[in-house]
Amino acid sequence: MTLTFAPHLENGIAFGIILSLGLFLYRTMEPNFTELSVEHGSIIASRFADESVEASQSVKVAKWSGSLYFANAAYFETKLLELIAKNNDELQYVIVDVASIVQVDASGEQVLSNLVESCSSSGVEILFARTERLEAELFRSGFKKRYGENRFFDLRADALKYVWQELENIEKEKDEAQVEDIDDTSESN
């Protein structure tokens, strides 16, 4: 290669830059996306689902390892939507562990916004855990203000505690509504 580009060194440098950019994009286009299992009521998520432990179907944890930018934002969206579609019947919460995300560009933020809005309207809430690295960036862009501070947690355990409490509150409301319906029915007779 060196001898080919020797008379025109600038062409060799340009070729090397283009090749290195292409290799960088190729390596970062599909970062590791991992679905973690959570036992009902637990604050611990694990990659390894034990057959004896029944994983919660209403809560899923997803871990993304890599930056979220224009080259891989669509991949992230696809993987998260696949996770939601696979568990759509009972799924109520998805906690996205973003500890490994070092940066989010405008297209990555747009994907996050679209996911939060579309999933919320279909009954699945997306929460973000371990956000300390992205805190300033998400605040500066207005993302946190738009979607509420209650979606962001410093620890995955805090996010899981919040989810279990919310699910418990929903269950209590259903029970109270059933009791009221029974009381209304008995009073009308």
Reduce the secondary structure of 101-142 to three states and give it as a string. Answer: CCCECHHHHHHHHHHHHHHHHCCCEEEEECCCCCHHHHHHCC
Query: pLDDT per residue over 158-170, tens digit each?
Result: 999 999 999 999 8
Reported as a single tens digit per residue, the pLDDT across 24-52 is 877 777 888 988 888 888 888 877 665 66
Q: Which domains are present in the chain?
A: 1-29 (no CATH), 31-188 (3.30.750.24)
Task: Please state the rounded mean pLDDT for residues 132-153.
Answer: 88
pLDDT for the residue 44: 81
Mean pLDDT lowest among 54-63, 76-85, 106-115: 54-63
Q: Round to whole Å and give the CA distance between 129 and 59.
A: 13
Tell me, what's the pLDDT at 69? 87
Contact 95, 43 (CB under 8 A): no
